Structure 1
């Protein structure tokens, strides 16, 4: 298990670095675009497509990080109705199972979109960047979401099994 933890830490470090770099790029590109356009009267062609590509990757990698840390949005309203920890664990297991199922669909759909983008060969108008680069962010994020959902499912099953064994 230590091997998986090390891989996870390396992936997390890469994701955090990428999110930081992309966030900085988007911020400076937007400010630069405003300065060039408003103050200098110069149009910066292609900046929007670079920002859009970066924003797609930023959002998707951020979602993967949130999934890794289990800090993504969740509706844990069930805890307000009961204090039964076993019931909470069962509901968490059900929610995680549904997340795994949905993640499988997301991987399938994003792969279809990505392969369609490669097949069609669409490019951006200014820099001729292949559209599948932006579409690839959906595929990478959905694969990471699936892996983290599977990790959470294993964790939830183990937690519930341990509680069942002690009762």
Structure 2
């Protein structure tokens, strides 16, 4: 299991996904800032408006937020409450980490499945934005992409934590009781 995790984390796919996410984050961030600056300039300097600008910003913001969330899972920098685990012994921390990663993996996979259903429905019925008539599935696809990436990273980190936990448990076979 440790070799599998190590191979995945050193693979071309892993590096490519990270670079793709970084590129999407930079491009969408710059795009949102530029479009908002343009909107402010047009509205308050030229007393004009750019029709449908809010719809475009929302789509870019969806991609920024969901890809940013998946990148946070990759970095293990997402919001979490970790005071209680710090008070536990090392083996209990490892076990709790396995439980948390398993729960997160399951939830991300379920949300990915729901995102597939949502996009399928949107493609079937093809709802569109009110102004520019942009298909809704374009922004909804970011939800699927984000949760699939979160699922992938969560499963890899679950396997990594499971390997760490089992190695701690194996080290303890010498005499000390597990969970102390």
The TM-score normalised by the length of structure 1 is 0.94
Partner of residue 138, structure 1: 143
Which structure 2 residue ranges, 5 or more long, are not aligned? 1-5, 173-180
Instruction: Identify if the C-alpha distance between structure 1 residues 80 and 162 changes in structure 2 by more than 3 Å, giving closer, same or farther.
Output: closer
After superposition, what is the alpha-carbon deviation per residue over 1:43-86, rounded to whole angstroms, capped at 9, x for unaligned?
A: 1001111100000000000001001111111111223433x111
Partner of residue 55, structure 1: 61
Alignment of 1:154-165 (within 5 A): 154-165=159-170
1:27 to 18, 29, 33: 33
2:19 to 13, 17, 30: 13
1:96 to 94, 101, 119: 101
For this pair of structures, how many residues does the alignment match? 166
The TM-score normalised by the length of structure 2 is 0.88
CA RMSD of aligned residues (A): 1.3
Q: Which moved more, 1:117-126 or 1:51-60?
A: 117-126
Structure number with bigger Rg: 2
Give the 4+ runs in structure 1 shifted more than 3 A: 1-4
**Displacement, 1:100?**
1.2
Which structure 1 residue ranges, 5 or more long, are not aligned? none
